[in-house]
């Protein structure tokens, strides 16, 4: 099948999932065309079945806001016609489902039928999409999608609660290639980051307020009072400065490393003992799944889709959002004994197996088949 994928090309989970999906689809014999404003960060274009089409928006002084949706829908029309695309899969409703629907209608006027699958990822529904500025357009474009999927049961329920959605929402969870997480590193280079007796605790996110990175620092501070440890914070975002200041204020700044955005998260996870994800909202928590796949237990909040991923008492622990004391005591209970830590590491990996690429990508292929049938 010739599939066009529209996504955000950044480090965000939705872009990562879209990219990994595209790559996996080419391994199943499909031809995939990524259409976005920059080459996705996880895409290295090594296969001739993968194409990347850049959407450019010309600056024009009249425009206070550049019309990206217009450029995207025009690009979609051109790519669909030039390459004979059979199906469009848009990740993240805003503005991709909207632009996709416009492209679909423009093509329809030329006698070309293009089924559109929209995957909802989280903030497009729970944070941004339900703002009155966007809600009518988001509701419209979700309802006009041929098939809608969500990355967790929790996000499906949130979508029905927050929007008047007429069509069925199919849950297709995010996934991880477990084969790539059979630890390929003989030497994790742990000694670059910590002393042998220190536990390594990691947090990976876009450092936005919704991630509650300061809670992660508070949890780490409590762990540090019980055992030697290091905290690695991976990612860039608006909370970074305030978090750095909090570490200085607590006198723990020498124990915390801010590593910035990284394409080598798996290498960092390779030597991590525990992953912290105390988010306010999290439709799925791909970062938690990536940690689990690397055998890193997760202490997280119990918001959104996290309980579907991180299993309490098995792959880690869940607590109410903001319950820093409980999260710290759960972290300490995992980290205090080598045996307990080893048990949680094994169990984290086992729980990640449920989301192996081999199990989930065929679910997307089934969705595509269904979408094709719908428009015949
Ligand atoms: O977490 C973010 O702020 C980024 C956001 C995105 O759109 O890339 O992540 C969302 O989609 C991910 C992939 O499906 C999910 O794993 C994240 O849980 C979800 N984030 C939120 O719901 C806050």
* Domain housing 139: 2-175+356-374
Task: Say what the pLDDT of residue 92 is.
Answer: 93
Whether 288 and 164 share a structural domain: no
Whether 233 and 265 share a structural domain: yes
Task: Say what the pLDDT of residue 126 is.
Answer: 81
Whether 227 and 346 share a structural domain: yes
**Cis peptide leading into 99, omega within 30 of 0?**
no
Whether 350 and 204 share a structural domain: yes
Whether 186 and 166 share a structural domain: no
CA 103, CA 180: separation in Å to the nearest integer? 36
CA 338, CA 197: separation in Å to the nearest integer? 11
Q: Which atom of ligand 1 is nearest to the CA of 286?
A: 16
Task: Say what the pLDDT of residue 136 is.
Answer: 94
Task: Say what the pLDDT of residue 184 is.
Answer: 58
Name the DSSP letter for residue 235: B
Whether 339 and 246 share a structural domain: yes
Whether 337 and 367 share a structural domain: no
Q: What is the CATH number of the domain that holds 98?
A: 3.40.50.2000
Provide the domain count of the chain.
2
This model's pTM is above 0.75: yes
Distance (angstroms) between ligand 1 centre and the Cα of 20 equals 15
Task: Say what the pLDDT of residue 187 is.
Answer: 63
CA 210, CA 278: separation in Å to the nearest integer? 9
Helix (H, G, I), strand (E, B) or coil at 264: coil
Whether 93 and 197 share a structural domain: no
CA 85, CA 91: separation in Å to the nearest integer? 17
Q: Which atom of ligand 1 is nearest to the CA of 281?
A: 23
CA 133, CA 61: separation in Å to the nearest integer? 24
Distance (angstroms) between ligand 1 centre and the Cα of 312 equals 21
Whether 129 and 183 share a structural domain: no
Q: Which mutation among 283, 304, 309 tests ligand 1's pocket best, with the greatest number of atoms within 8 A of CB? A: 283
Whether 160 and 237 share a structural domain: no
Q: Which mutation among 41, 92, 123 tests ligand 1's pocket best, with the greatest number of atoms within 8 A of CB? A: 123
Distance (angstroms) between ligand 1 centre and the Cα of 151 equals 9
CA 312, CA 323: separation in Å to the nearest integer? 15
pLDDT average per 10 residues of sequence, the chain (376 residues): 96 92 96 95 82 92 91 98 98 95 97 97 84 92 96 97 94 94 69 92 97 98 98 97 98 97 90 97 97 97 98 98 98 97 97 98 98 90
Instruction: Please list, residue by residue across 237-248, b when 16 or more beta carbons sit within 10 angstroms of its beta carbon and e when fewer do.
Output: bebeeebeebbe
CA 108, CA 77: separation in Å to the nearest integer? 10
Whether 318 and 342 share a structural domain: yes
Whether 311 and 207 share a structural domain: yes
Residue with tokens 């296969």: 47
């Amino acid at each position: 099948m010739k599939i066009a994928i529209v996504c955000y090309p950044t480090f965000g989970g939705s872009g990562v999932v879209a990219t990994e999906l595209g790559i996996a689809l080419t391994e199943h014999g499909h031809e995939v065309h990524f259409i976005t404003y920059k080459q996705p960060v996880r895409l290295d274009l090594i296969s001739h079945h993968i194409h990347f089409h850049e959407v450019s928006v010309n600056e024009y002084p009249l425009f206070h806001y550049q019309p990206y949706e217009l450029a995207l829908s025009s690009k979609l029309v051109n790519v669909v016609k030039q390459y004979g695309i059979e199906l469009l899969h848009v990740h993240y409703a805003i503005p991709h489902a909207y632009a996709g629907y416009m492209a679909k209608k423009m093509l329809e006027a030329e006698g070309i039928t293009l089924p559109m699958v929209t995957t909802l990822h989280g903030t497009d529904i729970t944070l941004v999409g339900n703002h009155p500025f966007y809600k009518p357009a988001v509701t419209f474009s979700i309802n006009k999608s041929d098939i809608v999927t969500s990355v967790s049961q929790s996000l499906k329920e949130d979508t029905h609660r927050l929007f008047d959605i007429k069509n069925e929402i199919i849950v297709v969870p995010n996934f991880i290639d477990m084969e790539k997480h059979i630890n390929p590193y003989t030497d994790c280079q742990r000694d670059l980051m910590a002393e042998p007796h220190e536990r390594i605790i990691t947090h990976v996110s876009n450092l936005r307020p919704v991630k509650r990175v300061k809670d992660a620092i508070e949890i780490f501070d409590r762990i540090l009072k019980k055992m030697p440890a290091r905290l690695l914070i991976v990612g860039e975002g608006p909370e970074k400065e305030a978090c750095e200041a909090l570490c200085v204020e607590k006198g723990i700044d020498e124990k915390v490393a801010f590593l910035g955005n990284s394409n080598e998260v798996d290498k960092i996870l390779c030597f991590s003992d525990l992953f912290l994800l105390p988010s306010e909202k999290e439709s799925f928590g791909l970062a938690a799944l990536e940690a689990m796949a690397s055998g890193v237990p997760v202490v997280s909040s119990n918001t959104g889709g996290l309980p579907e991923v991180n299993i309490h008492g098995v792959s880690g622990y869940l607590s109410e959002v903001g319950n820093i004391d409980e999260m710290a005591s759960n972290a300490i209970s995992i980290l205090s004994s080598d045996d307990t830590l080893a048990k949680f590491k094994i169990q984290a990996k086992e729980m990640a197996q449920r989301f192996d690429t081999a199990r989930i990508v065929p679910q997307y292929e089934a969705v595509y088949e269904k979408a094709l049938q719908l428009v015949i």
